[in-house]
Amino acid sequence: MSNITRKRKPNQPGISRKKAKLTHLTAGDLPWKTVPRPREAEFGADYEDLLDLEEVDDVEVLYEETDAGRVVRFMASAASKGKSKDTDVLEEPRQDVPEDSSPAEEPPALPTSTAKAARTPEAPSFDAAKLLPHWHEFSLHPRLSYTLYTQGFTNPTPIQSQALPLAMQGRDIVGVAETGSGKTLAYGLPILHHLLTEASAPGPSKTQGRRPLRALILAPTRELALQVSTHLNACLNDIDIPAGEPPSVEEDLKQDNSGTVPANKSKGKSRAMAKKIPKPNASVNTPGGPVKPKPPPLVSVAAIVGGMSAQKQRRILSRGVDVLVATPGRLWDIVQEDDQLGRDIERLRFLVLDEADRMIETGHFAEMDNVLRLTMRFPKEGEPELEPDVGLRGSAEPEDSKKDVKKGDLQTFVFSATLSKDLQRNLKRPKRPKKQKNNKPASTLDDLLLRLDFRDPTPAVIDISPAGGVVATLQESKVECLALDKDAYLYYFLLRYPGRTLVFLSSIDGIRRLLPLLDLLGLPAFPLHSQLEQRQRLKNLDRFKSTPNAILLATDVAARGLDVPAVDHVVHYQAPRAADAYVHRNGRTARAMRRGFSLLLCAPDERRVVRAMLGSLGRQEEDIPEMPVDLYLLDKLKARIQLARGIDTAQHKVRKEKHERNWLKEAAEAMEIELDSDLDSPTDDDARNALSKRKLKAAEAKTAALKAELKQLLAQPLVARGISTRYITSGSRPVADEMLAGELNEQMVGLRKVEAGSDLVPAKKRKAKAKTKEEFEEWNGLGE
């Protein structure tokens, strides 16, 4: 027996509760719909799905007392039950496609089904063989060819052209290639090709209910997992081809008669080289009749990461996902509650470890090890045994499910820019090593390779990483200085070479100290580290992408995989702890054959670490040239820094005083003690509080005075030695002509506007330099 104790009114007043037929639903089944966020709460298009706010109408919440305790039930009216999020989108006013929209000019983002509704027979055709000759040999699914074309990816990168044929043959792959060389698509394209081909093959619909997971991609950081998911989603675009119809690009275009690139939510990944596709004259207005609800996508990609709503992620999973990109911690949390997901992982078709070497660092990701165990076949002699208490293997129908996994079913891809030679040597060993005794979580790459259980007896190893880990289009430099002077050198660099700059620090405290300093100096800086809320992390990343000359102060959480377009410079404010971190940090610039610049600020006590780091990359200190610095200007900047530090300290004092006073007030309130009206403090403590108030006032006055002084200093132009601002056509260095030609640095009068690195004296010419030209041509000069 159960009785209902409380009812809440439906939150849409217009609907009669009497008439509505109520159906019991779980929270995940409710017809959630997206609520537009206020502008200031936007995080960029990349994370829409996970960060959108959602609301639900016409639902009664019933609290029911049962024998097992109180139970919450959601009762939806029949009218709302069938209404999905997508149906709501369809009800939005339809839009017309602008006449001259083209892929190069950001096509209008139409609701998919609206775009689909606008079909005309005169849609243009797209000849993939002719327009993408360099991809032709891979016979990619037409939808993928189409996307590559619209994104301007006319040539495969070297890692893509080597990995693709092997992956298509079903081989397991270990791929090592430089940062920013397109590894995501090197593993992503074969997966999507396989799934698209399978899904669009003629025949009856293969699955009833939730679609089983087919591919799992594990990434070490949340931002990277979200980025990979966005990248792969962008490849699928938003065109829906009904299952059973083998698609062609011509078909795709016929179906989306806007003739534009389908709405691509990922702006970050698209290249400026996008080609124009012929456009038909079309309007999306359809002649009457209700538009059908959007069918499920042919292949779906989703991300599940920590720091975001686990409930929403569970809901996304329950709708069925083909490709899941995940960070191991959150994935394991969900797997433990979701038996179906666990069983799906046991029967995966593709497994990817992105940034594999980072994933198995000692002490990290025990959860990943647990997930990997699920992907292993039934242990054979000579293979590591599974711990009985691990994962779902010990639970529901484990034995049967193991029989279902056929040898060769799972294809494994391991990618990174830094995998050691040792790893490759182990892989090429003819036999698997003997059974391990303790079965401890993987702590080395060798262990990981055992754990991974490659189905391929000899996984293909593609190692095209550059010597010393240095990308050919990267220019490195260093400044040797006292730790105390690093702020001034950084400030000098930011003013001397304006551009989007990613500054790496080894500690979060360092970021907290530097951030207000740069702020006081009027520079747009944003923090990124693990102690920020995930929303804030993504918001800051987005601001960094969208603000000109922005600065991102980050820990190594941003060192791996992040593909922020047009990062001009990387600064190592502190030397990285390991050589791979140096390579990956540098890899945030000079991506996809663009030019990039890195600066290493090296204090005397860091020299040993730097020497060791370069040594392990097979390089020497002299390989990295010194960045030239105008010491006269640097001194002037030091004065500004000094003032900014003073202000920060004074502000800190003010905050501390205020905090103490507030605490006193709250404590007094809690104890119900009367506060003195003048001092806002308990009368017993008059003297102490008068002192506190005086201190506060003094700190505030000091802050104001220092701020005024800094403002004045910042208003004065920074003039290089020998330059007269009064007589610009005379003086020891007349600058009038350069000024007129706009060739002068706007922040430092008298210095020419130059790109970072253009005034370096090369210490040693790297052999890799010779390769640059060749590769530019091979990639069609992308980035030039």
Which residue matches tokens 């791996």? 560
CB of 506 to ligand ATP, least distance (A): 20
Contact with ligand ATP (CB under 6 A): which of 592, 668, 713, 720? 592
CB of 360 to ligand ATP, least distance (A): 16
Which 324-343 positions form the footprint of ligand ATP (CB under 6 A)?
none
CB of 179 to ligand ATP, least distance (A): 4
| Stretch near ligand ATP under the rule CB under 6 A, chosen from 432-440, 585-593, 624-632, 727-735 | 585-593
Instruction: Give the per-residue contact string, 375-414, with ligand ATP (x = CB under 6 A; - = no).
Output: ----------------------------------------
CB 288 within 8 A of CB 261: no
CB of 50 to ligand ATP, least distance (A): 20
CB of 227 to ligand ATP, least distance (A): 7
Give the nearer residue to ligand ATP in terms of CB position, either 142 or 182.
182
CA-to-CA distance for 659 and 563, rounded, in angstroms? 40
CB of 546 to ligand ATP, least distance (A): 16
**What is the secondary structure of 482-545 as a DSSP string?**
-GGGHHHHHHHHHHHS-S-EEEE-S-HHHHHHHHHHHHHTT--EEEE-TTS-HHHHHHHHHHHH
CB of 130 to ligand ATP, least distance (A): 18
CA-to-CA distance for 230 and 351, rounded, in angstroms? 18
Give the nearer residue to ligand ATP in terms of CB position, either 259 or 783.
783
User: Residues in contact with ligand ATP, total (CB under 6 A)?
Assistant: 21
The closest alpha carbon to 348, from 304, 398, 415, 405, belongs to 405
Query: Which residues, in sequence order, are CB contacts of 142 under 8 Å at separation 6+?
Result: 128, 247, 248, 249, 251, 252
29 to 59, 79, 231, 336, 444: CA distances (angstroms): 12, 14, 28, 21, 43
Which 545-574 positions form the footprint of ligand ATP (CB under 6 A)?
561, 563
Containing 54, the helix (H) or strand (E) segment is strand 53-55
CB of 580 to ligand ATP, least distance (A): 11
Instruction: Give the per-residue contact string, 408-447, with ligand ATP (x = CB under 6 A; - = no).
Output: ---------x------------------------------
CB of 561 to ligand ATP, least distance (A): 4
The closest alpha carbon to 233, from 297, 318, 175, belongs to 297
**What is the secondary structure of 59-103 as a DSSP string?**
EEEEEEEETTEEEEEEEEEHHHHT--HHHHHHTSPP-PPPTT--G
Contact with ligand ATP (CB under 6 A): which of 181, 370, 477, 534? 181
CB of 412 to ligand ATP, least distance (A): 17
Residue 185 makes contact with ligand ATP by CB under 6 A: yes
Which residue matches tokens 């971190």? 581
Q: Which two tokens stand for residue 687?
A: 């003297």
Total residues belonging to the chain: 784
Q: How many CA atoms lie within 13 A of 154 on its CB side?
A: 15
CB of 215 to ligand ATP, least distance (A): 16
| Stretch near ligand ATP under the rule CB under 6 A, chosen from 26-34, 584-592, 651-659, 696-704 | 584-592
Which residue matches tokens 């049967």? 400
Query: What phi-psi label fits residue 612: left (phi over 0), alpha (psi between -120 and 50 degrees) or beta?
Result: alpha
Q: Are strands 53-55 and 59-66 parallel, antiparallel or unpaired?
A: unpaired
Give the nearer residue to ligand ATP in terms of CB position, either 417 or 744.
417
| Stretch near ligand ATP under the rule CB under 6 A, chosen from 179-187, 510-518, 667-675, 725-733 | 179-187
Q: Which two tokens stand for residue 9?
A: 């009114």
Contact with ligand ATP (CB under 6 A): which of 183, 537, 572, 594? 183
Q: Are strands 215-218 and 350-354 parallel, antiparallel or unpaired?
A: parallel
Which 255-314 positions form the footprint of ligand ATP (CB under 6 A)?
269, 271
**What is the secondary structure of 344-401 as a DSSP string?**
HHHT-SEEEEETHHHHTSTTS-HHHHHHHHHTSPSP-TTSPPPPTTSGGGGSSSHHHH
Give the nearer residue to ligand ATP in terms of CB position, either 219 or 664.
219
**CA–centroid distance for 664 within its chain:** 44
Give the nearer residue to ligand ATP in terms of CB position, either 199 or 417.
417
CB of 581 to ligand ATP, least distance (A): 12
CB of 271 to ligand ATP, least distance (A): 6
Which 724-783 positions form the footprint of ligand ATP (CB under 6 A)?
782
Containing 666, the helix (H) or strand (E) segment is helix 631-670
Residue 219 makes contact with ligand ATP by CB under 6 A: no
CA-to-CA distance for 400 and 112, rounded, in angstroms? 41
CB 572 within 8 A of CB 614: no
CA-to-CA distance for 543 and 537, rounded, in angstroms? 10
The closest alpha carbon to 99, from 283, 353, 294, belongs to 283
Which residue matches tokens 């960045």? 627
Contact with ligand ATP (CB under 6 A): which of 180, 466, 510, 750? 180
Which 132-171 positions form the footprint of ligand ATP (CB under 6 A)?
153, 155-157, 160
Residue 184 makes contact with ligand ATP by CB under 6 A: yes
| Stretch near ligand ATP under the rule CB under 6 A, chosen from 164-172, 176-184, 538-546, 662-670 | 176-184
Amino acid at the residue 340: Q
Residue 767 is given by DSSP the state T
Give the nearer residue to ligand ATP in terms of CB position, either 180 or 596.
180
Give the nearer residue to ligand ATP in terms of CB position, either 393 or 584.
584
| Stretch near ligand ATP under the rule CB under 6 A, chosen from 174-182, 395-403, 516-524, 761-769 | 174-182
| Stretch near ligand ATP under the rule CB under 6 A, chosen from 173-181, 433-441, 474-482, 606-614 | 173-181
Residue 57 makes contact with ligand ATP by CB under 6 A: no
Residue 494 makes contact with ligand ATP by CB under 6 A: no
Give the nearer residue to ligand ATP in terms of CB position, either 189 or 282.
189
Give the nearer residue to ligand ATP in terms of CB position, either 126 or 187.
187
Contact with ligand ATP (CB under 6 A): which of 31, 142, 175, 182? 182
CB of 444 to ligand ATP, least distance (A): 21
Q: Which two tokens stand for residue 721?
A: 């030695």
Give the nearer residue to ligand ATP in terms of CB position, either 181 or 200.
181
The closest alpha carbon to 226, from 332, 157, 306, 320, belongs to 306
CB of 250 to ligand ATP, least distance (A): 23
Residue 179 makes contact with ligand ATP by CB under 6 A: yes
Footprint of ligand ATP (CB under 6 A): 153, 155-157, 160, 179-185, 269, 271, 417, 561, 563, 587, 591-592, 782
